[in-house]
Amino acid sequence: MRTTILQVTIKVLIPVFLLYSLYLLFRGHDHPGGGFIAALVISIGLIFHMIAFGVSETQRVYKIDAIKLASIGLLLSFMAATVPMLVGDGFFHALWTDVEIVGIGTISSVLVFDIGVYFAVIGAILKIAFAVFKE
């Protein structure tokens, strides 16, 4: 369904989807939200873009390689789970740094895990969507 109204609306809403997605991601390790729901939000925006413009245009504009994105996410999540064992803590034990970023909070392995989930879910959903909407 490629209508001018949908195309213009999606171009305006993609930044809104992205900002809300990042908001959910960075507040999620302290409050409800997190990598999974944040990934769903941005994936919905990108799926709307696919509906409005087609798969090839979405891949061209956003230069998305879903498999690489999912792989990076799995690697980050794996690192967040296993790095604490290198410092003598248990598997999935949370590590915290003294580094604090305004608006995000303290950098921790929990945040790295959430970012990994974020990338893995976006990659998985977009890989499925690219296959379903294939032109």
Listed in sequence order, the residues at least 6 apart from 132 whose beta carbon sits closer than 8 Å to its beta carbon are none
The residue-averaged pLDDT of 95-110 equals: 78
Q: What is the pLDDT of residues 113-135, one digit of tens each?
A: 999 999 999 999 999 999 998 86
Over 90: is that where the pLDDT of 98 sits?
no
pLDDT at 134: 81
pLDDT class of 9 with cuts at 50, 70, 90? very high
Over 80: is that where the pLDDT of 40 sits?
yes
Over 90: is that where the pLDDT of 95 sits?
no
The residue-averaged pLDDT of 60-87 equals: 92
Q: Which of 10, 122, 123 is nearest to 57 (CA)?
A: 10
Q: What is the pLDDT of residues 42-71, one digit of tens each?
A: 999 999 999 999 999 999 999 989 999 999
**Above pLDDT 70, what percent of the chain?**
96
* Residue 115 CB neighbour total at 10 angstroms: 21
87 HSE (CA, 13 A, CB side): 11
pLDDT at 122: 97
